[in-house]
Amino acid sequence: MPPANRNAGGQLRELRESLGLSIRDVWKLSEQVADGKHSRDFRIPPSCLSLIERKGKVPSIYRLHSLAHAYNTSMRKLLSLYGI
């Protein structure tokens, strides 16, 4: 995995922690988004968020949408972490 991806995951973790959110909090918020969108694709299980933050796994566009909602930020900002 390219270093930029691991760096993005670390930045996502820092953002989550700065907001005082736990991994489970993000999971619950993503469940709300998924329910509203009627699609399981928006769900971010705790194990998946851990892989994103610690192992550099690149989240799907659906999960990025849920992260933007949970972190009260724009998709543009999150995409920029991945060089997009």
pLDDT of residue 66: 98
CATH, residue 39: 1.10.260.40
Question: Can you give the pLDDT at residue 3?
Answer: 42
d(CA 50, CA 64): 14
pLDDT over 70 at 58, yes or no = yes
pLDDT at 8: 96
What is the residue range of 58's domain? 3-81
**Number of domains observed in the structure of the chain:** 1
Distance CA 67, CA 77 (A): 11
Nearest to 79 by CA among 14, 10, 12: 12
Contact 71, 19 (CB under 8 A): yes
